[in-house]
Amino acid sequence: MSIESLKEKLPAFAKDVRLNLSSLASDETMSDQRKYGLLIACGLATRNPVVASALEVEARARLSSEALDAARAAASIMAMNNVYYRFVHLASNKEYGSMPARLRMNVIANPGVDKIDFELWSLAVSAINGCGLCIDSHEKVLREAGVGAAEVHTAVRFAAVIQSAAVALEAAGLSRLVAA
């Protein structure tokens, strides 16, 4: 499966999602590694196997095995960090913020690819997972490294479109179940 086959699976009510997926596929504002790493990390963050596998097929031929693993690692480590740091951020008891996380996250320091690519993927996954603390942290690192607001914005747009594809597929599946 690919982005084209994913678009074909989307129901008629998701026409805008199909159009937005087309714009992602044709986006040339980022390097291939950044773009296709975003597809992998965000696809996995949706937790939708149809979306994740379609985007993996799309990206596999364009990424090294190291970049594939790093994008997978970004989705995995952010799944953990986004839960933990969202809790710390949202909890009324601020004592939790002074406690050590005691979570291994060595991959953030040594992702096996350009650190900025990994940070961008982590930011996009954090947007999908709704962790404001992580969004701020990754955005700060990116901006300090010279990544412009437009590229950060594009990464979050990728996350939004990919998440919307997953929701559209789920909605279509639910409507079939209800009709049965």
- Quote the distance between the C-alpha of residue 52 and its chain's center: 10
Dump pLDDT digits (tens) for 12-45.
999 999 999 999 989 999 999 999 999 999 999 9
Would you call 42 a catalytic residue per the annotation?
no
Residues 128-147 have a mean pLDDT of 97
Of 162, 138, 159, 155, nearest in space to 50 by CA: 162
Looking at the chain, the whole-number percentage of residues with pLDDT higher than 70 is 96
Residue 128, both tokens = 């999908």
Q: Enter the pTM of the model.
A: 0.93
Residues 87-94 have a mean pLDDT of 96
* Residue of 21, 124, 131, 165 with catalytic role: 131
pLDDT given at position 173 = 79
pLDDT given at position 179 = 54
Mean residue pLDDT of the chain comes to: 94
* Residue of 134, 142, 161, 162 with catalytic role: 134
Rounded-to-integer distance, Cα 118 and Cα 17, Å:
26
Q: Catalogue all structural domains in the chain, each as residue range(s) with its CATH number.
A: 3-179 (1.20.1290.10)
- Confidence tier at 174 by pLDDT (50, 70, 90): low
